[in-house]
């Protein structure tokens, strides 16, 4: 009986390991790809349809584009496996990484850089021409988990001696374009947002520069990353990585205002973890 029992135990163990291996190597027919919710949802879906078509052709999978209601819900969707691939802001990636088994694999390359910066804009009519003009007034940011419409401009203001809650009042609009609207309408005298979104809004005629102007730029920081779930099958993860790093479609890259994508690692985003510590913000609480 003992050899029989040992044989049964071995068979059960092998079955368990096989089941675990299968569960750890998903290869779904449909991949859910999340886009950063920093603009109008319908515009994001429409603009990124060529990306979905490209990925379907390269990966042989159906691609479902997803736009969550905000950064936090996107992070939670990644945490609970409701999305497979996601385009994150750097800080929202750091938050998602702290709660999920994900890996970054590609970052934007713009103007030859794999880094980007934020702008701080001011209301012209209210005489906001330099950073010190905002002292004692209202400043608009996007989502609290946004890098370039919150953490980067807030860190720059702190570097210049302006602390949120002490030297000015911070308000959150939820999105980059809403920051422009708030400053444009005078609901805030200044605001922070990604330079890439600012440029896109300029190019599309959505900004009246007689009413809103750039008053400062932040330093450059590592670009927005794409990340994927680590439980996807290794060959699928490699195919996804290759699809992005070899992407040269002008229309798709134009939607990201980018020239291409470069490989990134988690360590590239340690600078943002340090930024949170400098600002006295526990990123896990955002």
Task: Give the integer Cα–Cα distance in Å for 84 and 77.
Answer: 9
Residue pair 185/121 in contact (Cβ under 8 Å)? The answer is no
Query: If you average pLDDT over residues 142-149, what whole number do you get?
Result: 89
Does 32 lie in the same domain as 47? yes
Task: Specify if 269 maps to a domain.
Answer: yes
Task: Give the integer Cα–Cα distance in Å for 282 and 263.
Answer: 28
- Residue 235 pLDDT exceeds 70: yes
Task: Give the integer Cα–Cα distance in Å for 167 and 158.
Answer: 10
Does 169 lie in the same domain as 140? yes
User: Of 219, 249, 265, which marks where a domain is finished?
Assistant: 219
Does 27 lie in the same domain as 103? yes
Query: Which pLDDT value is given to residue 1?
Result: 47
Q: Is 2 helix (H, G, I), strand (E, B) or coil?
A: helix
Task: Give the integer Cα–Cα distance in Å for 171 and 277.
Answer: 21
In angstroms, how far is CA 76 from the centroid of its own chain?
14
Task: Specify if 278 maps to a domain.
Answer: yes
- Residue 285 pLDDT exceeds 80: no
Does 233 lie in the same domain as 188? no
Does 142 lie in the same domain as 169? yes
Does 228 lie in the same domain as 97? yes
User: Of 219, 238, 273, which marks where a domain is finished?
Assistant: 219
Instruction: Indicate the burial class of 12 (C-beta count within 10 angstroms; 0-12, 13-18, 19 or more).
Output: exposed
Does 215 lie in the same domain as 192? yes
Each residue's pLDDT tens digit, 185-214: 999 999 999 998 999 899 999 999 999 999
Task: Specify if 6 maps to a domain.
Answer: no
User: Of 204, 219, 234, which marks where a domain is finished?
Assistant: 219
- Residue 9 pLDDT exceeds 70: no
Residue pair 230/102 in contact (Cβ under 8 Å)? The answer is yes
- Residue 117 pLDDT exceeds 70: yes
CATH number of the structural domain spanning residue 164: 3.40.190.10
Does 107 lie in the same domain as 126? no
Q: In what order do the strands lie in the sheet with 169-172?
A: 169-172, 138-141, 190-194, 118-123, 212-217
Query: Which range marks the domain in which residue 254 is found?
Result: 21-113+223-285
């Amino acid at each position: 009986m003992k050899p029989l029992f040992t044989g049964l135990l071995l068979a059960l163990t092998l079955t368990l390991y096989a089941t675990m291996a299968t569960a750890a190597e998903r290869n779904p027919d449909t991949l859910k790809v999340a886009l950063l919710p920093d603009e109008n949802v319908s515009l994001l879906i429409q603009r990124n349809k060529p990306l979905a078509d490209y990925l379907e052709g390269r990966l042989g999978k159906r691609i479902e584009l997803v736009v969550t209601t905000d950064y936090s819900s996107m992070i939670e969707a990644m945490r609970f496996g409701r999305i497979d691939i996601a385009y994150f802001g750097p800080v929202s990636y750091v938050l998602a990484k702290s709660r999920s088994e994900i890996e970054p694999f590609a970052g934007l390359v713009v103007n030859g850089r794999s880094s980007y910066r934020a702008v701080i804009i001011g209301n012209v009519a209210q005489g906001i021409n330099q950073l010190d003009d905002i002292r004692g007034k209202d400043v608009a940011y996007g989502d609290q988990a946004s890098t370039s419409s919150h953490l980067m401009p807030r860190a720059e203001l702190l570097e210049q001696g302006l602390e949120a809650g002490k030297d000015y009042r911070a308000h959150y609009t939820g999105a980059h374009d809403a920051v422009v609207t708030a400053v444009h309408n005078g609901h805030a005298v200044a605001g922070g947002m990604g330079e890439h979104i600012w440029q896109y809004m300029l190019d599309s005629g959505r900004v009246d520069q007689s009413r809103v102007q750039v008053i400062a730029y932040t330093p450059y920081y590592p670009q927005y990353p794409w990340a994927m779930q680590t439980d996807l099958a290794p060959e699928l993860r490699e195919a996804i990585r290759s699809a992005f790093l070899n992407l040269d479609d002008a229309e798709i890259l134009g939607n990201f205002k980018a020239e291409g994508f470069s490989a990134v690692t988690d360590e590239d985003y340690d600078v943002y973890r340090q930024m949170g510590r400098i600002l006295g913000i526990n990123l896990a609480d955002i």
